[in-house]
Amino acid sequence: MTDALRGKEDVQRILAYAESIAKESRKALTIEFNQKHKGIPFNSVPKVLQESLLAWFARRDKNVKVTLGPVNTKSGEVRATFGGEAKSVRFEIHADAMFKTASEASEAPCYLKELNVTIGKSR
């Protein structure tokens, strides 16, 4: 009985940790996009966002494994989902970004307006 309770506490602790580093990643990736990727073509944003998030988590904590998931885009918005795992606890990482674009063209330069990185339970 106590092992089951301990297991639930461990899962909650790991998810809380994942949430805290997700907030940290949001701040770091916002700075990175505003410094290094300002004005990039909108059609390159999904790949840059995925690569940046994967690289950031790899640098931040090697015990948190992050894998690519699906990406959805529409005019000025990118929604990317990643799989995450730490100490055999699986979760999803959602990165939702909004961009200001110069036009509706997919090659139009864009600028980050908002980025949210959140943690959800794995399905």
Domain count for the chain: 1
The pTM of the full predicted model, rounded to 2 decimals, is: 0.88
Which own/partner contact pairs does 98-102 have at CB distance under 8 Å and 24+ positions apart?
99/42, 99/45, 100/76, 101/42, 101/75, 101/76
pLDDT tens for 35-81 read 999 999 999 999 999 999 999 999 999 999 999 999 999 888 999 99
For 77-103, letters b (16+ CB in 10 Å) and e give ebbbebebbbeebebbbebebebebee
Q: Give the domain range for residue 6.
A: 2-121
What would the two tokens of residue 58 be? 């790899």
